[in-house]
């Protein structure tokens, strides 16, 4: 793979965006235009140790790119979005996550630039099947709907192509955790919050029983950010592959597994979950009323479509991923 390609990463100072920049740097790719909004100034830390060729404010980039201001761009990793699932301003969410993405899609097709973009498992919302088909797409919030609407736009537009145009690939991220998420506040991963909670209080708190699940047994497909980057780069290496794909491990694990990995990793214990709960290092709280009816108690990516492309990346499980993450959080 040539290291002379010009790449754009939107949301470059964010969680997944900055990890993608790091992954590109590891390949020797440094002609990277980082696009973001640094109103939250401390996000600069995610870029400070990375190599980029330019920084462009998100308010300027989309119009400028559509006028071909940046010359030949090989690919855009579009990670910029409002990812707050509790955001209730639908007009803002649709402008930020849908309208700008449509504008970028059109400009990429006009210029022959490949587009690899962030979708979300939130498109499935109230579904218990996580397969990239319309009948399973049931978002529970406007964030999930904004992501679904752009997926639908991409499907409709690409179905109209009579010949292969520039690659367009969307990734429905499941519960991503890992380094460079410290700026996300309440939207940071469970592992991140549990790490800091245990250090501050000597215990990890989980939701109690809800939706037919026992305490701490609600299940998610937790995917380590290094695996997310690896799959993005696999598609970068395979420009002939387009579509909308789940990006999770294909393995559903309970929140108890994450808490257990955090407590064991920070204490060096090998005690069982039952022993750790008995010792009050893991405690359970009532499920909050504000989340009732808006919460996915179970997710598990169906990887059939991803595997059909030939992507055979092996994903780590929670124990492996959290162990690696804790080492980076502790340095």
The span from the CA of 192 to the CA of 198, in Å, is 10
Residues 329/195, Cβ–Cβ less than 8 Å: yes
Residue with tokens 């996300």: 184
Q: Which helix H or strand E contains 9, and what residues bound it?
A: strand 7-10
Q: Which of 184, 205, 295, 298 is catalytic?
A: 184
DSSP 296: -
Those residues whose C-beta lies under 8 Å from the C-beta of residue 201, and which sit 6 or more positions away, are: none
Q: Is 143 a catalytic residue?
A: yes
Residues 158/100, Cβ–Cβ less than 8 Å: no
Q: Is 184 a catalytic residue?
A: yes
Q: Which of 62, 124, 143, 325 is catalytic?
A: 143
CA-closest candidate to residue 61, choices 1, 111, 103: 103
What residues form DSSP beta bridges with 175?
A: 222
Those residues whose C-beta lies under 8 Å from the C-beta of residue 271, and which sit 6 or more positions away, are: 264, 279
Q: Which helix H or strand E contains 147, and what residues bound it?
A: helix 142-159
Residues 54/28, Cβ–Cβ less than 8 Å: no
So which residues are the catalytic ones? 143, 184
């Amino acid at each position: 793979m040539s290291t002379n390609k010009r790449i754009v990463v939107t949301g470059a100072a964010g969680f997944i965006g900055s990890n993608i920049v790091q992954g590109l740097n590891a390949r020797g790719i440094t002609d990277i235009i980082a696009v973001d909004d640094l109103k939250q100034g401390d996000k600069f830390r995610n870029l400070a140790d990375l190599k980029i060729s330019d920084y462009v404010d998100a308010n300027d980039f989309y119009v400028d790119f559509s006028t071909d201001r940046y010359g030949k761009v090989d690919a855009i990793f579009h990670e910029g979005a409002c990812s707050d699932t509790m955001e209730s301003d639908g007009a803002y969410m649709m402008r930020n996550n849908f309208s700008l993405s449509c504008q970028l899609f059109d400009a990429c097709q006009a210029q022959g630039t490949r587009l690899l973009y962030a979708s979300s498992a939130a498109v499935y919302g109230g579904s218990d099947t996580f397969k990239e088909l319309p009948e399973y797409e049931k978002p529970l919030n406007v964030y999930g709907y904004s992501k679904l609407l752009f997926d639908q736009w991409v499907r409709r537009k690409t179905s109209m192509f009579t010949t292969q145009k520039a690659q367009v690939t969307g990734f429905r991220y499941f519960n991503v955790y890992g380094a460079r998420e410290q700026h996300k506040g309440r939207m940071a991963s469970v592992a991140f919050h549990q790490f800091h909670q245990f250090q501050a209080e000597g215990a990890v708190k989980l939701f109690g029983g809800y939706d037919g699940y026992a305490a701490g047994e609600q299940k998610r497909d937790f995917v380590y950010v290094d695996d997310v980057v690896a799959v993005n780069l696999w598609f970068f290496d395979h420009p002939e592959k387009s579509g909308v794909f789940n990006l999770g491990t294909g393995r559903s694990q309970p929140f108890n597994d994450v808490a257990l990995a955090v407590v064991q990793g920070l204490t060096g214990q090998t005690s069982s979950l039952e022993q750790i709960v008995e010792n009050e290092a893991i405690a359970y709280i009532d499920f909050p009323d504000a989340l009732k009816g808006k919460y996915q108690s179970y997710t598990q990516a169906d990887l059939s479509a991803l595997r059909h492309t030939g992507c055979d990346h092996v994903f780590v499980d929670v124990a492996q991923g959290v162990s690696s993450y804790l080492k980076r959080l502790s340095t």
